[in-house]
Amino acid sequence: MKSKIIWSILSLFVISLGCITSLFLLKENPVYKDIETKEVAKSSKALNKTAGSNFNNEPKKNQQIQEETSKNLEEIGHSKLDKVDFAKPNPPITQETIDRLEKEKDKQYGVGDKIMLNVSPQVQRAWNTCAPTTVSMMLSSRGITVSQEVLAQEMKTDTTFGTHNANAIQILNRHLFGYDTPRANQDGYKLETVTTSDIKSEQMSLFKERLKQNIADGYPMYYTFDCAKIYPGSYGEHNVIGIGYQLAEDGSDITYLYYIDPSYTKQDSVYGGLKKVTPEELFEGMLTCVEPNYGW
C-alpha cells in the first residue's frame, strides 16, 4: 500500500518536471521569440496610433472651442456696445469758460463782478525794497519803466527801516506828474492814515470811493499794512500795490480787495503775488502801522 502511494507521488513529480522543461525549451526557441516580438510591436503600434490620433485632434478641438468662445464674446460685446451712449471728447477749456465758471462760483458765494487793472507783477530783489518795487509796478502800469534799484536810491531806502511812505509817494508823483507834492487842484497821489476798521465808518466809505475812482481812472492804490495781521507768523510793515476789487452780488458794495505782493516769500505757485482780502481785514492790518496806510 505504501509503495503504491510513493509510486503515485513520483509519477506526478516526473510529469510536472517534464511540463516545466517543455515550456522552458519552447520559450528559448527563436521562432517563439520572433512571434512574441511581433505581437509586442503590433500592440505598441496600435497604442501609438491611438495616442497620436488623440494628440493630433486635441489642437483642433481647442481651436474650435476658442473660435466659438471668441464668437460668443464678440456677440455679447457688440450687444452691450450698442446700448452704450459714449460721450463726445471734452473740448479744451477756454479762458471764456474759466471766467464763466468763476462767475458761477462767485454767485454761489454771494459775490459779483471783479474790477481789476492789468498790472505786470514784480518780485522785490532785496528784503527792504517792497516800497520801490510797489512803485515800480505802479509806474509800469502807466507805461513808465523805472527799476527797483533806481527807485530805492531816489527814495533813500535804507537797511534799517526800509522806505518811508512820504518819500515813496513823492518819487511816484515825480515820475508820473513831474512834481513831488500835488497842490489842491493838481493830480497826484496823497497819503491817508486809518484809525478804525469799522465797516460802517466814514473812513471805510471814503476809502471805497477813492478805490473805485482810482481803478476807474487806471491808477493803482498804494497799501501799507502790518504783516503779522495779514500773514500770521510774519512781522514788519509791508507795502503792496492795490489793483482792484470785487463787488457784492447785487453790486451795492465792495466785498473783496485785490493786491499784488512783491515779497519773494509771499509768491504762490499758481497766482504769484496776487492776494485777496476783505476791506475790514486790510484796515485791521493798517491800524498798527507807524507809517501812513494807503496812497490814492
What whole-number distance in Å separates Cα of residue 44 and Cα of residue 35?
Answer: 14
What's the alpha-carbon Rg for the chain, to the nearest Å? 51
What's the mean pLDDT in 128-136? 98
Mean pLDDT, the chain, integer: 79
- Strand (E) or helix (H) holding 228: helix 227-230
Least confident of 100-104, 142-146, 258-262: 100-104
Q: Is 178 exposed, middle or buried (0-12, 13-18, 19+ CB in 10 A)?
A: exposed
C-alpha cell at 58: 486635441
C-alpha cell at 62: 481647442
Give pLDDT tens digits for 44-83. Answer: 444 344 444 444 454 455 555 555 544 554 454 444 334 3
The pLDDT value recorded for residue 15 is 61
Give pLDDT tens digits for 209-229. Answer: 999 999 999 999 999 999 999
Least confident of 12-16, 33-37, 78-82, 100-104: 78-82
Domain ranges for the chain, please list them.
Answer: 2-83, 110-295
Kindly list the distances between the CA atom of residue 252 and the CA atoms of 24, 159, 199, 247, 290, in Å, as whole numbers in the listed order: 127, 44, 14, 7, 33
The residues, any chain, with a CB within 8 Å of residue 140's CB and separated by 6 or more, are: 119, 120, 122
Q: How confident is the model at residue 292 (pLDDT cuts 50, 70, 90)?
A: very high
What's the mean pLDDT in 223-236? 96
Helix residue ranges per DSSP H, 84-118: 95-108
CATH class of 110-295: alpha beta
Q: How confident is the model at residue 4 (pLDDT cuts 50, 70, 90)?
A: low
Cα 122 vs. chain centroid, distance in angstroms? 25
Least confident of 13-22, 140-149, 175-184, 216-225: 13-22
What whole-number distance in Å separates Cα of residue 198 and Cα of residue 188?
Answer: 27
Q: How confident is the model at residue 112 (pLDDT cuts 50, 70, 90)?
A: confident
- Strand (E) or helix (H) holding 62: helix 30-83
